[in-house]
Structure 1
Amino acid sequence: MIQGLSGIDIALWDIKGKHFGVPVHQLLGGAARNEVAAYATGLYRRKSGDPLTYLPEEAAGYAAEGFRAVKLKVGFGIDEDAAATRAVRDAIGPDVALMVDANHAYDAVAAIRLGRLIERHDIAWFEEPVPPEDIAGYRAVRSALTIPIAGGECEFTRFGFRDLFAAHALDIAQPDTCAAGGLSECKKIADMSEAFGIRYNPHVWGTGIAIAASLQLLAVLPSHTPTSLAPLAPMLEFDRTEHPIRQAILKQPIEHATGMVRVPNGPGLGIDVDRGALARFAADQCGH
Protein backbone atom coordinates (compact mmCIF):
# COMPACT_ATOMS: atom_id res chain seq x y z
CA MET A 1 0.00 0.00 0.00
CA ILE A 2 2.81 2.43 0.84
CA GLN A 3 4.40 1.79 -2.54
CA GLY A 4 1.09 2.63 -4.23
CA LEU A 5 0.83 5.83 -2.19
CA SER A 6 4.40 6.67 -3.21
CA GLY A 7 3.42 6.67 -6.86
CA ILE A 8 0.45 8.94 -6.18
CA ASP A 9 2.59 11.32 -4.14
CA ILE A 10 5.23 11.58 -6.88
CA ALA A 11 2.52 12.20 -9.48
CA LEU A 12 1.05 15.01 -7.37
CA TRP A 13 4.45 16.70 -7.07
CA ASP A 14 4.82 16.45 -10.85
CA ILE A 15 1.37 18.00 -11.36
CA LYS A 16 2.18 20.81 -8.91
CA GLY A 17 5.49 21.56 -10.61
CA LYS A 18 3.90 21.62 -14.05
CA HIS A 19 1.10 23.87 -12.76
CA PHE A 20 3.58 26.45 -11.46
CA GLY A 21 6.09 25.88 -14.27
CA VAL A 22 8.97 25.01 -11.94
CA PRO A 23 10.94 21.83 -11.18
CA VAL A 24 10.04 19.84 -8.10
CA HIS A 25 13.41 20.61 -6.51
CA GLN A 26 12.44 24.28 -6.42
CA LEU A 27 9.21 23.39 -4.64
CA LEU A 28 11.23 21.29 -2.17
CA GLY A 29 13.33 24.28 -1.16
CA GLY A 30 15.82 24.87 -3.96
CA ALA A 31 18.64 22.90 -5.50
CA ALA A 32 22.00 22.53 -3.78
CA ARG A 33 23.43 20.98 -6.98
CA ASN A 34 22.44 20.66 -10.63
CA GLU A 35 24.21 17.37 -11.31
CA VAL A 36 24.79 14.25 -9.25
CA ALA A 37 27.56 11.67 -9.30
CA ALA A 38 26.19 8.26 -10.21
CA TYR A 39 27.39 4.83 -9.26
CA ALA A 40 26.95 1.90 -11.63
CA THR A 41 24.78 -0.92 -10.35
CA GLY A 42 25.35 -4.20 -12.14
CA LEU A 43 27.91 -6.95 -11.71
CA TYR A 44 25.33 -9.70 -11.37
CA ARG A 45 26.09 -13.40 -11.76
CA ARG A 46 25.34 -14.86 -15.18
CA LYS A 47 24.01 -18.25 -16.17
CA SER A 48 27.32 -19.24 -17.73
CA GLY A 49 30.95 -18.21 -17.66
CA ASP A 50 33.49 -17.62 -14.91
CA PRO A 51 32.49 -14.74 -12.59
CA LEU A 52 36.16 -14.13 -11.83
CA THR A 53 36.55 -13.28 -15.51
CA TYR A 54 33.34 -11.51 -16.54
CA LEU A 55 32.78 -9.48 -13.35
CA PRO A 56 36.14 -7.64 -13.44
CA GLU A 57 35.71 -7.07 -17.19
CA GLU A 58 32.26 -5.54 -16.64
CA ALA A 59 33.51 -3.40 -13.76
CA ALA A 60 36.46 -2.14 -15.80
CA GLY A 61 33.98 -1.18 -18.52
CA TYR A 62 32.01 0.99 -16.10
CA ALA A 63 35.21 2.67 -14.95
CA ALA A 64 36.15 3.32 -18.58
CA GLU A 65 32.74 5.01 -19.09
CA GLY A 66 33.66 7.45 -16.34
CA PHE A 67 31.85 6.01 -13.32
CA ARG A 68 33.81 6.70 -10.15
CA ALA A 69 31.91 4.07 -8.17
CA VAL A 70 30.47 0.60 -8.88
CA LYS A 71 28.38 -1.84 -6.86
CA LEU A 72 28.94 -5.59 -6.81
CA LYS A 73 26.28 -8.16 -5.95
CA VAL A 74 27.41 -10.63 -3.29
CA GLY A 75 25.60 -13.36 -1.39
CA PHE A 76 26.86 -16.41 -3.27
CA GLY A 77 29.03 -17.87 -0.53
CA ILE A 78 31.71 -16.21 1.57
CA ASP A 79 34.72 -17.53 -0.32
CA GLU A 80 33.24 -16.83 -3.76
CA ASP A 81 32.19 -13.33 -2.71
CA ALA A 82 35.64 -12.56 -1.30
CA ALA A 83 37.32 -13.74 -4.50
CA ALA A 84 34.95 -11.72 -6.70
CA THR A 85 35.45 -8.60 -4.59
CA ARG A 86 39.21 -8.93 -4.88
CA ALA A 87 39.01 -9.46 -8.66
CA VAL A 88 36.77 -6.42 -9.17
CA ARG A 89 38.95 -4.20 -6.99
CA ASP A 90 42.04 -5.26 -8.96
CA ALA A 91 40.21 -4.47 -12.22
CA ILE A 92 39.02 -0.96 -11.30
CA GLY A 93 42.07 0.14 -9.33
CA PRO A 94 42.22 2.13 -6.10
CA ASP A 95 40.55 5.32 -7.30
CA VAL A 96 37.08 3.95 -8.13
CA ALA A 97 34.81 3.34 -5.15
CA LEU A 98 33.54 -0.20 -4.67
CA MET A 99 30.37 -1.13 -2.80
CA VAL A 100 28.94 -4.61 -2.17
CA ASP A 101 25.27 -5.56 -1.85
CA ALA A 102 24.18 -8.86 -0.31
CA ASN A 103 20.39 -8.31 -0.60
CA HIS A 104 20.12 -9.79 2.92
CA ALA A 105 21.66 -13.12 1.90
CA TYR A 106 23.54 -13.71 5.16
CA ASP A 107 23.06 -13.86 8.88
CA ALA A 108 25.24 -11.69 11.09
CA VAL A 109 27.89 -14.37 11.64
CA ALA A 110 28.46 -14.90 7.91
CA ALA A 111 28.21 -11.19 7.08
CA ILE A 112 30.90 -10.35 9.62
CA ARG A 113 33.12 -13.13 8.27
CA LEU A 114 32.74 -11.81 4.71
CA GLY A 115 33.20 -8.22 5.82
CA ARG A 116 36.48 -8.99 7.54
CA LEU A 117 37.76 -10.75 4.42
CA ILE A 118 36.98 -7.79 2.13
CA GLU A 119 37.74 -4.83 4.42
CA ARG A 120 41.25 -4.67 2.93
CA HIS A 121 39.74 -3.75 -0.44
CA ASP A 122 38.47 -0.34 0.76
CA ILE A 123 34.75 -1.09 0.51
CA ALA A 124 32.65 2.09 0.45
CA TRP A 125 29.63 0.34 1.96
CA PHE A 126 28.19 -3.12 2.69
CA GLU A 127 24.53 -3.03 1.67
CA GLU A 128 21.83 -5.17 3.26
CA PRO A 129 24.22 -7.65 4.88
CA VAL A 130 21.39 -9.33 6.84
CA PRO A 131 17.57 -9.50 6.55
CA PRO A 132 15.91 -6.09 7.03
CA GLU A 133 13.93 -7.31 10.05
CA ASP A 134 17.13 -8.32 11.88
CA ILE A 135 17.95 -5.00 13.52
CA ALA A 136 20.16 -6.68 16.12
CA GLY A 137 22.06 -8.35 13.27
CA TYR A 138 22.61 -4.98 11.60
CA ARG A 139 23.99 -3.61 14.85
CA ALA A 140 26.29 -6.61 15.29
CA VAL A 141 27.68 -6.31 11.76
CA ARG A 142 28.11 -2.56 12.08
CA SER A 143 29.98 -2.84 15.37
CA ALA A 144 32.27 -5.61 14.06
CA LEU A 145 33.41 -3.95 10.82
CA THR A 146 35.07 -0.74 9.68
CA ILE A 147 33.02 -0.88 6.44
CA PRO A 148 30.01 1.49 6.53
CA ILE A 149 26.73 -0.44 6.69
CA ALA A 150 23.89 0.57 4.35
CA GLY A 151 20.26 -0.48 4.11
CA GLY A 152 16.66 0.63 4.09
CA GLU A 153 15.28 -0.19 0.65
CA CYS A 154 12.81 -2.56 2.38
CA GLU A 155 11.73 0.00 4.98
CA PHE A 156 8.78 2.37 4.71
CA THR A 157 7.79 5.83 5.98
CA ARG A 158 9.49 8.08 8.50
CA PHE A 159 8.17 5.86 11.28
CA GLY A 160 9.99 2.79 10.05
CA PHE A 161 13.21 4.75 9.58
CA ARG A 162 12.85 6.40 12.98
CA ASP A 163 13.21 2.97 14.58
CA LEU A 164 16.21 2.09 12.38
CA PHE A 165 17.95 5.36 13.21
CA ALA A 166 17.20 5.15 16.93
CA ALA A 167 18.67 1.63 16.97
CA HIS A 168 21.93 2.92 15.43
CA ALA A 169 21.66 0.13 12.85
CA LEU A 170 22.90 2.02 9.79
CA ASP A 171 25.64 4.32 8.59
CA ILE A 172 23.89 4.99 5.26
CA ALA A 173 20.12 5.11 4.74
CA GLN A 174 18.73 3.99 1.38
CA PRO A 175 15.00 4.69 1.20
CA ASP A 176 13.48 4.03 -2.21
CA THR A 177 11.65 7.18 -3.26
CA CYS A 178 9.08 5.12 -5.16
CA ALA A 179 8.44 2.75 -2.25
CA ALA A 180 9.06 4.42 1.11
CA GLY A 181 6.35 7.06 0.77
CA GLY A 182 7.19 9.21 -2.24
CA LEU A 183 8.93 12.57 -2.31
CA SER A 184 6.94 13.97 0.62
CA GLU A 185 7.84 11.17 3.01
CA CYS A 186 11.40 10.71 1.75
CA LYS A 187 12.18 14.39 2.31
CA LYS A 188 11.08 13.90 5.93
CA ILE A 189 13.24 10.78 6.19
CA ALA A 190 16.19 12.71 4.75
CA ASP A 191 15.76 15.51 7.30
CA MET A 192 15.59 12.96 10.10
CA SER A 193 18.65 11.16 8.69
CA GLU A 194 20.64 14.40 8.85
CA ALA A 195 19.57 14.93 12.46
CA PHE A 196 20.86 11.46 13.35
CA GLY A 197 24.13 11.99 11.46
CA ILE A 198 23.31 9.19 9.00
CA ARG A 199 24.18 9.54 5.33
CA TYR A 200 21.39 9.32 2.74
CA ASN A 201 21.83 7.69 -0.67
CA PRO A 202 18.46 6.65 -2.11
CA HIS A 203 17.83 3.22 -3.55
CA VAL A 204 16.79 3.67 -7.20
CA TRP A 205 15.19 0.94 -9.24
CA GLY A 206 12.68 0.64 -12.06
CA THR A 207 11.87 3.17 -14.76
CA GLY A 208 13.09 6.61 -15.74
CA ILE A 209 10.31 8.05 -13.57
CA ALA A 210 12.07 6.59 -10.53
CA ILE A 211 15.37 8.08 -11.69
CA ALA A 212 13.81 11.51 -12.25
CA ALA A 213 12.03 11.54 -8.87
CA SER A 214 15.23 10.51 -7.10
CA LEU A 215 17.21 13.22 -8.88
CA GLN A 216 14.73 15.88 -7.77
CA LEU A 217 15.25 14.79 -4.16
CA LEU A 218 19.02 14.41 -4.52
CA ALA A 219 19.18 17.99 -5.80
CA VAL A 220 18.05 19.38 -2.44
CA LEU A 221 19.74 16.99 0.00
CA PRO A 222 22.58 18.36 2.13
CA SER A 223 26.09 17.05 1.59
CA HIS A 224 27.58 14.49 3.94
CA THR A 225 30.11 15.89 6.45
CA PRO A 226 28.92 19.39 5.43
CA THR A 227 31.24 21.30 7.75
CA SER A 228 34.42 19.61 6.52
CA LEU A 229 36.67 21.11 3.86
CA ALA A 230 35.68 18.31 1.46
CA PRO A 231 31.94 17.62 1.86
CA LEU A 232 30.60 14.56 0.04
CA ALA A 233 27.51 14.91 -2.13
CA PRO A 234 24.95 12.08 -2.06
CA MET A 235 25.07 9.72 -5.04
CA LEU A 236 22.54 8.41 -7.55
CA GLU A 237 22.15 4.68 -8.08
CA PHE A 238 22.31 4.18 -11.86
CA ASP A 239 21.24 0.71 -12.90
CA ARG A 240 23.27 -0.61 -15.85
CA THR A 241 21.52 -3.95 -16.23
CA GLU A 242 19.29 -4.70 -19.23
CA HIS A 243 15.82 -3.19 -18.79
CA PRO A 244 13.68 -2.65 -21.92
CA ILE A 245 11.20 -0.30 -20.23
CA ARG A 246 13.48 1.88 -18.09
CA GLN A 247 14.35 4.65 -20.56
CA ALA A 248 11.92 3.73 -23.33
CA ILE A 249 8.94 5.29 -21.53
CA LEU A 250 10.64 8.70 -21.45
CA LYS A 251 10.56 11.00 -24.46
CA GLN A 252 14.03 12.19 -23.45
CA PRO A 253 16.08 9.48 -21.70
CA ILE A 254 18.11 10.34 -18.60
CA GLU A 255 21.72 9.53 -19.42
CA HIS A 256 25.03 9.89 -17.66
CA ALA A 257 28.11 11.74 -18.94
CA THR A 258 31.34 10.32 -17.53
CA GLY A 259 29.49 9.16 -14.45
CA MET A 260 27.57 12.40 -13.82
CA VAL A 261 23.81 12.84 -14.28
CA ARG A 262 22.19 16.24 -14.64
CA VAL A 263 19.11 16.99 -12.56
CA PRO A 264 16.12 17.57 -14.89
CA ASN A 265 15.26 21.27 -14.75
CA GLY A 266 11.93 21.27 -16.56
CA PRO A 267 8.56 21.68 -14.82
CA GLY A 268 7.59 18.98 -12.35
CA LEU A 269 9.85 15.95 -12.53
CA GLY A 270 11.38 17.45 -15.67
CA ILE A 271 10.40 14.50 -17.84
CA ASP A 272 7.65 13.64 -20.31
CA VAL A 273 6.26 10.13 -20.48
CA ASP A 274 5.99 8.55 -23.93
CA ARG A 275 2.38 7.37 -23.95
CA GLY A 276 3.01 5.39 -27.10
CA ALA A 277 5.70 3.40 -25.32
CA LEU A 278 3.32 2.74 -22.44
CA ALA A 279 0.84 1.30 -24.92
CA ARG A 280 3.51 -0.92 -26.48
CA PHE A 281 4.47 -2.34 -23.08
CA ALA A 282 0.91 -2.69 -21.76
CA ALA A 283 -0.46 -6.12 -20.91
CA ASP A 284 -4.05 -7.09 -21.61
CA GLN A 285 -6.33 -8.50 -18.93
CA CYS A 286 -5.15 -12.03 -19.75
CA GLY A 287 -1.57 -11.03 -18.91
CA HIS A 288 -0.24 -11.30 -22.46
Structure 2
Amino acid sequence: MSTVRTVLGDIPPDRLGVCDAHDHVFFSSPRLPGEELCDAAAARAELAAFREQGGSGVVQWTPYGLGRRVADLPLLSRDTGVHIVAATGLHQAAHYSPELLTELRGRLAEVFVSELTRGVGTSGVRAGLIKVAGGFHALDAHARWTMTAAAEAHHATGAPIAVHLELGTGALDVLDLLCGESGVPPHRVILGHLNRSPDAVVQRQAAESGAYLAFDGPSRANHATDWRMPDGVRALADAGFGHRLLLGGDTTTAAARSVNGGPGMPYLLRRIRPRLELALGKPLVDRILTENPGRAFSVEWA
Protein backbone atom coordinates (compact mmCIF):
# COMPACT_ATOMS: atom_id res chain seq x y z
CA MET A 1 0.00 0.00 0.00
CA SER A 2 1.26 3.49 -0.83
CA THR A 3 1.95 5.73 2.16
CA VAL A 4 3.36 9.19 2.84
CA ARG A 5 6.48 9.00 5.01
CA THR A 6 6.14 11.68 7.70
CA VAL A 7 8.48 12.39 10.60
CA LEU A 8 6.05 10.52 12.89
CA GLY A 9 5.80 7.50 10.58
CA ASP A 10 4.01 6.42 7.43
CA ILE A 11 0.41 7.52 6.92
CA PRO A 12 -2.25 6.89 4.24
CA PRO A 13 -2.24 9.65 1.59
CA ASP A 14 -5.70 10.91 2.54
CA ARG A 15 -4.51 11.70 6.08
CA LEU A 16 -2.06 14.32 4.82
CA GLY A 17 -4.98 16.71 4.40
CA VAL A 18 -4.58 20.30 3.24
CA CYS A 19 -0.90 20.40 2.35
CA ASP A 20 1.74 23.04 1.77
CA ALA A 21 3.66 20.94 -0.73
CA HIS A 22 6.92 22.93 -0.58
CA ASP A 23 8.11 24.82 2.45
CA HIS A 24 10.83 25.00 5.10
CA VAL A 25 10.44 24.62 8.84
CA PHE A 26 14.21 24.93 9.28
CA PHE A 27 16.75 26.16 6.73
CA SER A 28 20.15 27.81 6.77
CA SER A 29 22.61 28.55 3.99
CA PRO A 30 25.77 30.63 3.63
CA ARG A 31 23.96 32.34 0.74
CA LEU A 32 21.41 33.82 3.20
CA PRO A 33 23.47 35.04 6.17
CA GLY A 34 21.43 36.33 9.09
CA GLU A 35 18.17 34.94 7.70
CA GLU A 36 18.42 31.41 9.08
CA LEU A 37 15.27 29.50 9.97
CA CYS A 38 16.74 28.05 13.14
CA ASP A 39 14.39 29.15 15.94
CA ALA A 40 12.28 26.23 17.17
CA ALA A 41 9.79 28.50 18.92
CA ALA A 42 9.25 30.51 15.74
CA ALA A 43 8.87 27.28 13.77
CA ARG A 44 6.22 26.07 16.21
CA ALA A 45 4.34 29.37 15.96
CA GLU A 46 4.47 29.29 12.15
CA LEU A 47 3.13 25.74 11.99
CA ALA A 48 0.39 26.64 14.47
CA ALA A 49 -0.59 29.66 12.36
CA PHE A 50 -0.75 27.42 9.29
CA ARG A 51 -2.92 24.98 11.23
CA GLU A 52 -5.28 27.80 12.25
CA GLN A 53 -5.88 28.51 8.54
CA GLY A 54 -6.91 24.89 7.99
CA GLY A 55 -3.54 23.40 7.05
CA SER A 56 -2.61 19.91 8.15
CA GLY A 57 0.51 18.91 6.16
CA VAL A 58 3.84 20.55 5.29
CA VAL A 59 6.54 19.07 3.07
CA GLN A 60 9.95 20.43 4.08
CA TRP A 61 12.30 20.52 1.09
CA THR A 62 15.40 21.34 3.18
CA PRO A 63 18.06 18.83 2.08
CA TYR A 64 21.27 17.48 3.55
CA GLY A 65 23.62 19.95 5.21
CA LEU A 66 21.33 22.99 5.29
CA GLY A 67 20.11 23.04 8.89
CA ARG A 68 17.21 20.58 8.60
CA ARG A 69 17.09 19.92 12.37
CA VAL A 70 15.24 16.71 11.61
CA ALA A 71 15.41 15.54 15.22
CA ASP A 72 13.23 18.52 16.24
CA LEU A 73 10.50 17.88 13.69
CA PRO A 74 8.58 15.05 15.46
CA LEU A 75 7.92 17.16 18.56
CA LEU A 76 6.83 20.12 16.44
CA SER A 77 4.50 17.85 14.50
CA ARG A 78 2.95 16.47 17.70
CA ASP A 79 2.64 19.89 19.31
CA THR A 80 0.93 21.54 16.33
CA GLY A 81 -0.99 18.64 14.81
CA VAL A 82 0.65 19.26 11.42
CA HIS A 83 2.07 16.32 9.48
CA ILE A 84 5.64 17.05 8.36
CA VAL A 85 7.53 15.28 5.59
CA ALA A 86 11.34 15.64 5.74
CA ALA A 87 13.79 15.55 2.85
CA THR A 88 17.15 14.11 2.00
CA GLY A 89 19.00 15.31 -1.08
CA LEU A 90 21.50 18.02 -1.98
CA HIS A 91 21.07 21.60 -3.15
CA GLN A 92 23.23 23.58 -5.60
CA ALA A 93 26.99 23.54 -5.00
CA ALA A 94 26.99 27.19 -3.88
CA HIS A 95 25.24 26.19 -0.65
CA TYR A 96 28.09 23.93 0.51
CA SER A 97 31.79 23.96 1.24
CA PRO A 98 34.04 22.25 -1.33
CA GLU A 99 35.30 19.99 1.47
CA LEU A 100 31.81 18.62 2.18
CA LEU A 101 31.11 17.97 -1.49
CA THR A 102 34.43 16.14 -1.83
CA GLU A 103 33.59 14.03 1.22
CA LEU A 104 30.27 13.00 -0.38
CA ARG A 105 31.82 11.95 -3.68
CA GLY A 106 31.22 8.32 -4.47
CA ARG A 107 28.60 7.77 -1.79
CA LEU A 108 25.84 10.29 -2.40
CA ALA A 109 23.17 7.80 -3.45
CA GLU A 110 24.08 5.68 -0.42
CA VAL A 111 23.50 8.68 1.87
CA PHE A 112 20.12 9.36 0.30
CA VAL A 113 19.00 5.73 0.61
CA SER A 114 20.15 5.56 4.23
CA GLU A 115 18.20 8.69 5.18
CA LEU A 116 15.09 7.39 3.42
CA THR A 117 15.19 3.93 4.97
CA ARG A 118 17.14 4.06 8.23
CA GLY A 119 16.82 7.67 9.26
CA VAL A 120 18.69 10.96 9.29
CA GLY A 121 21.77 10.78 11.53
CA THR A 122 20.97 9.32 14.92
CA SER A 123 17.43 10.75 14.97
CA GLY A 124 15.77 7.68 13.52
CA VAL A 125 13.51 10.04 11.56
CA ARG A 126 13.23 8.89 7.96
CA ALA A 127 13.08 11.27 5.02
CA GLY A 128 10.10 11.06 2.69
CA LEU A 129 11.53 12.64 -0.47
CA ILE A 130 14.76 13.53 -2.26
CA LYS A 131 15.39 17.20 -3.05
CA VAL A 132 17.90 18.25 -5.74
CA ALA A 133 18.41 21.38 -7.83
CA GLY A 134 19.09 22.51 -11.37
CA GLY A 135 20.83 25.62 -12.63
CA PHE A 136 19.65 28.62 -14.62
CA HIS A 137 18.48 27.21 -17.98
CA ALA A 138 21.06 24.42 -17.71
CA LEU A 139 22.37 21.46 -15.73
CA ASP A 140 25.97 21.80 -14.59
CA ALA A 141 28.18 18.90 -13.48
CA HIS A 142 26.99 19.24 -9.87
CA ALA A 143 23.33 19.05 -10.89
CA ARG A 144 23.96 16.01 -13.05
CA TRP A 145 25.83 14.31 -10.21
CA THR A 146 23.15 14.97 -7.61
CA MET A 147 20.27 14.07 -9.93
CA THR A 148 21.94 10.84 -10.99
CA ALA A 149 22.37 9.93 -7.32
CA ALA A 150 18.73 10.88 -6.67
CA ALA A 151 17.64 8.59 -9.50
CA GLU A 152 19.66 5.73 -8.00
CA ALA A 153 18.06 6.33 -4.62
CA HIS A 154 14.62 6.46 -6.20
CA HIS A 155 15.15 3.10 -7.90
CA ALA A 156 16.24 1.63 -4.56
CA THR A 157 13.35 3.03 -2.51
CA GLY A 158 10.59 4.43 -4.73
CA ALA A 159 10.96 7.89 -3.14
CA PRO A 160 9.75 10.94 -5.08
CA ILE A 161 12.31 13.44 -6.35
CA ALA A 162 11.58 17.14 -5.84
CA VAL A 163 13.57 19.57 -7.99
CA HIS A 164 14.42 23.21 -7.36
CA LEU A 165 14.31 24.87 -10.78
CA GLU A 166 16.51 27.95 -10.69
CA LEU A 167 14.15 30.88 -11.37
CA GLY A 168 11.73 28.28 -12.74
CA THR A 169 13.96 27.34 -15.70
CA GLY A 170 15.40 24.10 -17.04
CA ALA A 171 12.35 21.88 -16.48
CA LEU A 172 12.72 19.97 -19.74
CA ASP A 173 16.45 19.36 -19.20
CA VAL A 174 15.65 17.97 -15.76
CA LEU A 175 13.05 15.63 -17.20
CA ASP A 176 15.46 14.52 -19.94
CA LEU A 177 18.03 13.56 -17.32
CA LEU A 178 15.82 12.04 -14.64
CA CYS A 179 13.20 10.36 -16.80
CA GLY A 180 14.97 9.94 -20.12
CA GLU A 181 18.52 9.00 -19.14
CA SER A 182 17.92 7.66 -15.62
CA GLY A 183 14.56 5.93 -16.00
CA VAL A 184 12.65 7.66 -13.20
CA PRO A 185 8.89 7.49 -13.88
CA PRO A 186 7.69 11.06 -14.56
CA HIS A 187 4.98 10.89 -11.88
CA ARG A 188 7.77 10.47 -9.31
CA VAL A 189 9.24 13.87 -10.23
CA ILE A 190 8.03 17.15 -8.72
CA LEU A 191 9.18 20.31 -10.48
CA GLY A 192 9.39 23.32 -8.17
CA HIS A 193 9.12 27.06 -8.87
CA LEU A 194 7.29 26.81 -12.20
CA ASN A 195 5.62 30.15 -11.41
CA ARG A 196 8.97 31.97 -11.48
CA SER A 197 9.26 31.50 -15.24
CA PRO A 198 5.70 31.77 -16.57
CA ASP A 199 6.38 30.05 -19.89
CA ALA A 200 3.04 28.43 -20.73
CA VAL A 201 4.53 26.22 -23.45
CA VAL A 202 7.21 24.72 -21.18
CA GLN A 203 4.71 24.26 -18.37
CA ARG A 204 2.37 22.43 -20.73
CA GLN A 205 5.20 20.19 -21.99
CA ALA A 206 6.28 19.41 -18.44
CA ALA A 207 2.72 18.52 -17.48
CA GLU A 208 2.35 16.32 -20.56
CA SER A 209 5.37 14.32 -19.42
CA GLY A 210 3.43 13.17 -16.36
CA ALA A 211 5.48 15.09 -13.77
CA TYR A 212 3.96 17.13 -10.96
CA LEU A 213 4.23 20.92 -11.23
CA ALA A 214 4.65 22.92 -8.03
CA PHE A 215 3.63 26.57 -7.97
CA ASP A 216 5.38 27.79 -4.84
CA GLY A 217 6.98 30.79 -3.24
CA PRO A 218 4.05 33.21 -3.51
CA SER A 219 4.26 36.91 -2.71
CA ARG A 220 7.84 37.47 -3.85
CA ALA A 221 7.82 40.85 -5.54
CA ASN A 222 10.91 40.09 -7.63
CA HIS A 223 9.29 37.05 -9.27
CA ALA A 224 6.30 36.68 -11.58
CA THR A 225 4.29 34.98 -8.87
CA ASP A 226 0.91 35.91 -7.45
CA TRP A 227 -0.59 37.96 -10.24
CA ARG A 228 0.32 35.48 -13.02
CA MET A 229 -0.09 32.25 -11.12
CA PRO A 230 -3.90 31.99 -11.38
CA ASP A 231 -3.76 32.26 -15.18
CA GLY A 232 -0.99 29.68 -15.44
CA VAL A 233 -2.70 27.23 -13.11
CA ARG A 234 -6.04 27.72 -14.85
CA ALA A 235 -4.52 27.10 -18.29
CA LEU A 236 -3.02 23.83 -17.10
CA ALA A 237 -6.25 22.77 -15.40
CA ASP A 238 -8.28 23.61 -18.52
CA ALA A 239 -5.87 21.46 -20.55
CA GLY A 240 -6.62 18.49 -18.29
CA PHE A 241 -3.65 18.66 -15.91
CA GLY A 242 -5.38 19.74 -12.71
CA HIS A 243 -4.39 16.42 -11.14
CA ARG A 244 -0.68 17.27 -11.59
CA LEU A 245 -0.61 20.63 -9.80
CA LEU A 246 0.78 21.42 -6.33
CA LEU A 247 0.91 24.57 -4.22
CA GLY A 248 3.52 25.64 -1.68
CA GLY A 249 4.84 28.60 0.26
CA ASP A 250 8.63 28.05 0.17
CA THR A 251 9.46 30.20 3.20
CA THR A 252 13.28 30.41 3.18
CA THR A 253 14.12 33.41 5.40
CA ALA A 254 13.28 34.46 8.92
CA ALA A 255 11.89 37.77 7.66
CA ALA A 256 9.40 35.92 5.43
CA ARG A 257 7.74 34.14 8.34
CA SER A 258 4.29 35.34 9.32
CA VAL A 259 5.38 35.53 12.97
CA ASN A 260 7.98 38.12 11.86
CA GLY A 261 5.57 40.15 9.73
CA GLY A 262 6.00 38.31 6.44
CA PRO A 263 3.51 36.18 4.50
CA GLY A 264 4.84 32.85 5.74
CA MET A 265 3.06 29.52 5.57
CA PRO A 266 -0.44 30.85 6.39
CA TYR A 267 -0.44 33.12 3.32
CA LEU A 268 -0.92 30.10 1.08
CA LEU A 269 -4.32 29.42 2.60
CA ARG A 270 -5.22 32.93 3.77
CA ARG A 271 -4.71 34.71 0.41
CA ILE A 272 -3.55 32.39 -2.37
CA ARG A 273 -6.27 29.81 -1.84
CA PRO A 274 -9.25 32.21 -2.19
CA ARG A 275 -7.57 33.94 -5.13
CA LEU A 276 -7.22 30.63 -6.95
CA GLU A 277 -10.77 29.64 -6.06
CA LEU A 278 -11.96 32.66 -8.06
CA ALA A 279 -10.06 31.39 -11.11
CA LEU A 280 -10.52 27.64 -10.75
CA GLY A 281 -13.44 27.03 -8.44
CA LYS A 282 -13.28 25.66 -4.92
CA PRO A 283 -13.54 21.92 -5.76
CA LEU A 284 -10.44 21.92 -7.96
CA VAL A 285 -8.40 24.02 -5.51
CA ASP A 286 -9.40 21.62 -2.73
CA ARG A 287 -8.09 18.71 -4.80
CA ILE A 288 -4.86 20.53 -5.60
CA LEU A 289 -4.27 21.09 -1.88
CA THR A 290 -5.27 17.61 -0.69
CA GLU A 291 -5.53 14.79 -3.23
CA ASN A 292 -2.61 15.88 -5.41
CA PRO A 293 0.06 16.06 -2.67
CA GLY A 294 -1.26 12.83 -1.20
CA ARG A 295 -0.51 11.15 -4.55
CA ALA A 296 2.71 13.02 -5.29
CA PHE A 297 4.39 12.12 -2.00
CA SER A 298 2.96 8.63 -1.43
CA VAL A 299 5.13 5.63 -2.15
CA GLU A 300 5.00 1.87 -1.93
CA TRP A 301 8.24 1.94 0.02
CA ALA A 302 10.87 -0.64 -0.90
1:76 and 2:89 aligned: no
Q: 1:139 — aligned with what?
A: 151
Match of 2:85 among 90, 98, 117: 98
d(CA) in 1 for partners of 2:39, 2:237: 38
Match of 1:156 among 160, 170, 178: 170
Question: Are 1:41 and 1:71, in contact at CA under 8 Å, matched by a contact in 2?
Answer: yes
Match of 1:201 among 211, 214, 230: 214
1:44 and 2:57 aligned: no
Match of 1:236 among 243, 247, 263: 247
Task: Return 5+ residue gaps in structure 1 as ranges.
Answer: 1-35, 245-253, 267-288
Bigger proportion of residues as helix: 2
Structure-2 change in CA distance of 1:108 and 1:209 (3 Å): same
**Greater mean deviation of Cα atoms: 210-219 or 116-125:** 116-125
Q: 2:190 — aligned with what?
A: 173
Q: Which amino acid aligns with 1:214?
A: M
1:126 and 2:108 aligned: no
d(CA) in 2 for partners of 1:204, 1:187: 20
SS of residue in 2 equivalent to 1:75:
coil
1:187 and 2:176 aligned: no
Question: Are 1:174 and 1:203, in contact at CA under 8 Å, matched by a contact in 2?
Answer: no
1:136 offset after TM fit, Å? 2.0
Question: Are 2:88 and 2:112, in contact at CA under 8 Å, matched by a contact in 1?
Answer: no
Q: Deviations over 1:13-33 (max 9, x none)?
A: xxxxxxxxxxxxxxxxxxxxx
1:137 offset after TM fit, Å? 0.3
Match of 1:256 among 269, 272, 290: 269
**Greater mean deviation of Cα atoms: 143-152 or 48-57:** 48-57
Task: Return 5+ residue gaps in structure 2 as ranges.
Answer: 1-17, 29-33, 97-103, 135-141, 258-266, 280-302
d(CA) in 2 for partners of 1:219, 1:124: 29
d(CA) in 2 for partners of 1:101, 1:218: 28
Q: 2:43 — aligned with what?
A: 55
d(CA) in 1 for partners of 2:216, 2:87: 14
Structure whose alpha-carbon radius of gyration is higher: 1
d(CA) in 2 for partners of 1:91, 1:216: 37
Q: 2:74 — aligned with what?
A: 86
d(CA) in 2 for partners of 1:109, 1:89: 27
Q: Which amino acid aligns with 1:87?
A: L
The normalised TM-score by structure 2 is 0.52
Provide the identity percentage: 10
**Greater mean deviation of Cα atoms: 169-178 or 122-131:** 122-131
1:97 offset after TM fit, Å? 5.2
After TM superposition, the structure 1 = structure 2 runs for residues 206-285 of structure 1, keeping only pairs within 5 Å, are: 206-207=220-221, 209-221=224-236, 234-240=245-251, 241=253, 242-243=255-256, 256-257=269-270, 260-263=273-276
Q: Which amino acid aligns with 1:187?
A: R
1:258 offset after TM fit, Å? 8.6
RMSD: 4.5
d(CA) in 1 for partners of 2:256, 2:26: 14
d(CA) in 2 for partners of 1:255, 1:190: 22
Structure-2 change in CA distance of 1:238 and 1:187 (3 Å): same
Question: Are 2:217 and 2:225, in contact at CA under 8 Å, matched by a contact in 1?
Answer: yes
